[in-house]
Amino acid sequence: MLAKEVMAYWRRVHRRAFDETKYMLRIETGARAMIAISVAACLIAVIWFIGGPNIAYHEVVVRLSLIATILLAFPVVYGWQFITTPAKLDDEATEKITQYEQRRAALNIGNPYLVRDVSDAVSWMI
């Protein structure tokens, strides 16, 4: 049972680190990445037809170097996020627990009032 909980925790850490890495590198969805690659390919094709193969070659090199930079940066940023995510999850859990404790304390503490029981005895309640 404990192993399943531990695996679920590390899956949550992985998912959060992966999502934050995609956000940091501006790759929120696979569709967005495909659109960016398609637009880059179309721009290169237009430059090829208008300016000739020499200009397009330089554009291809620039675009490929940008893609390679993102692909090489992804593991580094993911590793950084994976290391820092447990602390972030702990801080969020601590903050949520504090909020719940404050809310519970506010629910339990009220104005004092008098209560009469069956024998007509009076007592104060909070």
Residue 87: its pLDDT value, please?
A: 94
Higher-scoring residue by pLDDT: 77, 28:
77
Residue 17: its pLDDT value, please?
A: 93
Higher-scoring residue by pLDDT: 71, 56:
71
- What dihedral do alpha carbons 88, 90, 94, 97 form, nearest 10°? 110
Higher-scoring residue by pLDDT: 6, 25:
6
Q: Which residues have C-beta within 8 Å of that of residue 39, sequence separation ≥ 6?
A: none
Q: How far apart are CA 81 and CA 42, in angstroms?
A: 33
Decide if pLDDT at 15 tops 80.
Answer: yes
3-state secondary structure of 65: helix
Q: How far apart are CA 55 and CA 49, in angstroms?
A: 10
Higher-scoring residue by pLDDT: 90, 69:
90
pLDDT digits (tens, 9 = 90+) for 17-62: 999 988 887 777 777 777 777 777 777 777 777 766 666 677 777 7
Q: What is this structure's pTM?
A: 0.59
Residue 14: its pLDDT value, please?
A: 93
pLDDT digits (tens, 9 = 90+) for 79-104: 999 999 999 999 999 999 999 988 88
Q: How far apart are CA 87 and CA 83, in angstroms?
A: 8
